[in-house]
Amino acid sequence: MTEDFMQHVDAETVEAMTFYSIEEKLEEHGRRCSEFGIPSPTSVPYEFESKIINKKAELRIGQEMYALLNQDQLPAADKVLAAHHKQSNNGTCFFIDGPGGTGKTHLYNTLYHLFMGQGIYVMSVAWTGIDAGLLPEERTVHSRFKFPVPILETSTSSIRPHSKEAEEIKKAEVFIWDEAAMAPSYALKAVDILLRDIMNINLPFGGKIMVLGGDFRQVLPVTRFGNRSELIAASLKSSDLLSSFKVIHLSQNMRTGTGEEEFSKWLIQLGNGELPSNEYDEIDLPRSRMLDGNLVNEIFGQHISINDIPTLYNRTILCPKNQHSFLVNEEVLQRLPGTETTYTSVDDVECEDGDDVTNYPTEFLNSLTPLGMPPHKLKLKPGAIVMLLHNLDVKQGLCKGIRLIVRRLQNHTIDCEVATGSNKGSRVIIPRITMTPSDIFLPFKLRRHQFPIRLSFSMTINESQGQTFERLGLLLPQLVCNENIW
């Protein structure tokens, strides 16, 4: 690793830069050098401190993006900018409400570059890794604010006042949070408590400018085994803090193509609850959008050739639950040409009482595929589309939810190509890692050593948030739960 820093600096500086870089990588996963017997950096190398933000370049980018804002985005941007310049009495918290395709991401990035170009430090976060990849800093809420996964009603940040992370947060004047509608209300409360604590100011979010955005018509917080009232209580709509936010609506859809206007309008009416329904709240689906035949044939074709592989990542079939997407993925993989390779995991269990380990035989552990975990038997072919299940390097775009194209299958690593995002086309090497599920309902802690990926020709509705496809099918073998309305 020292070879990355050996240009124009002496050996002592190279060593300091290497240890600091390692510490940075470990901090992304909540760890420190000292935990692994590696010397902790005692100071920040000058070469890292000297990475000054190019204000002129940031301002130029922001102005170019500002010039492209539409009639909905322009007043929204002006309101947020005015809040910092004390030209508005409407408060400093904003919620950008808009369906997919109305330009929320473009608005966030415009504000980010304009503020940074004026020397105003901005932190941008998103609720999921895939959405974080669309923002400049590519950080999730959990990563930036050091919340546990999953975050619970009793969860708090591990950041302490006067720590390095706290000082960095203190310097930020503006926070941008994408897909906030997916977050539970107690996550917003935890951020509020953290910022008040760090700033030592009893104002909402420590007096910071907050720009949240999302679409309550889409995926809401998942509340396992929750009833209707619990689902509603978990939503940001039920948070007392939401009264601090001025809601700004975006409605002009920038993605709707020719001939799609009517269906786009129908989707908005569905999300707004404006469609006629029967006594059971059931609606009639447009007959023109329904398929009686094989959905896999319609989306991927009856036969997949080598020439089809470059376009496979632009197609998907969405399902309500993982169990349905697993079946679709298996069917598509069988149609993909090439030799199939199977990678098996090494599973063990950690229990509070060591004697309980014998109650969970290896065969039983192998049969489990908890939420967010790869299967025990991972079947792949070159050209297969897979999803990353663990944040490996968020700053490089290797975040949970990103889709990859398998290029080479090796014994100990898998060579993949990034299929989407700002790093599209770059090659990455995926290693085996040890993962533990975030499923708190298991009576033990499962440890699985496996490649942190799974097939992604098909995915759940939740996993599709923040992604765009050219061809998409929706498989509904059962009623969709409240938290999975799309």
Confidence of residue 168 (pLDDT cuts 50, 70, 90): very high
| Predicted pLDDT at 427 | 94
Confidence of residue 484 (pLDDT cuts 50, 70, 90): very low
Q: Per-residue pLDDT averaged across 61-87, rounded?
A: 93
**Calpha distance 82→86 (Å, rounded):** 6
- DSSP letters along 328-347, please? HHHHHHHHS-S--EEEE-EE
Tens digits of residue pLDDT in 418-459: 998 778 899 999 999 999 987 667 788 899 999 999 999 999
- Any residues with CB less than 8 A from the CB of 136 and at least 6 apart, and which? 109, 112, 113, 124
Task: Pick left, alpha or beta for residue 440 (phi over 0 → left; psi -120 to 50 → alpha; otherwise beta).
Answer: alpha
| Predicted pLDDT at 87 | 56
Q: Per-residue pLDDT averaged across 50-60, rounded?
A: 80
**Calpha distance 115→84 (Å, rounded):** 9
Residue 34 pLDDT greater than 80, yes or no: no
**Calpha distance 348→350 (Å, rounded):** 7
Tens digits of residue pLDDT in 332-368: 999 999 999 999 999 999 877 767 788 889 999 999 9
The strand pair at 209-214 and 93-97 is best described as parallel
Tens digits of residue pLDDT in 225-237: 777 788 888 899 9
Dihedral sign (CA 320, 324, 329, 334): negative
Is residue 240 classed exposed, middle or buried when 0-12, 13-18 and 19+ CB atoms within 10 A define those classes? exposed
394 touches 137 (CB < 8 A): no
Task: Pick left, alpha or beta for residue 281 (phi over 0 → left; psi -120 to 50 → alpha; otherwise beta).
Answer: left
**Calpha distance 437→129 (Å, rounded):** 17
Tens digits of residue pLDDT in 2-18: 455 445 556 776 777 77
**Calpha distance 388→373 (Å, rounded):** 10
Q: Which helix (H) or strand (E) holds 116?
A: helix 104-117
Strand partners, 349: 446
Tens digits of residue pLDDT in 230-264: 888 889 999 999 999 999 999 988 877 777 788 88
Residue 98: name the closest of 318, 264, 240 by CA. 264
Tokens 């304009």 map to which residue? Answer: 114
pTM confidence score: 0.81
Tokens 């859809």 map to which residue? Answer: 253
Is residue 299 classed exposed, middle or buried when 0-12, 13-18 and 19+ CB atoms within 10 A define those classes? buried
Tell me what percent of the residues of the chain surpass a pLDDT of 90: 52
CA-angle at 198, arms to 194 and 203, nearest 5°: 75
Q: Which amino acid is at 177?
A: W
Residue 485 pLDDT greater than 50, yes or no: no
Domains, the chain: 2-49 (no CATH), 55-249 (3.40.50.300), 295-474 (no CATH)
CA-angle at 378, arms to 375 and 383, nearest 5°: 135
Indicate the SS3 state at residue 223.
coil
The residue among 200 and 399 whose pLDDT is bigger is 200
Lowest model confidence (mean pLDDT) among 40-54, 82-96, 307-321, 368-382: 40-54
- CA of 178: how far to CAs of 49, 126, 181, in Å? 28, 5, 8
A 10 A CB-CB count for 182 gives 26
**Calpha distance 405→414 (Å, rounded):** 10
Backbone dihedral angles phi then psi of residue 395, each to the nearest 5 degrees = -65, -25
The alpha-helical segments, DSSP class H, found in 293-421 are 295-300, 322-335, 362-366
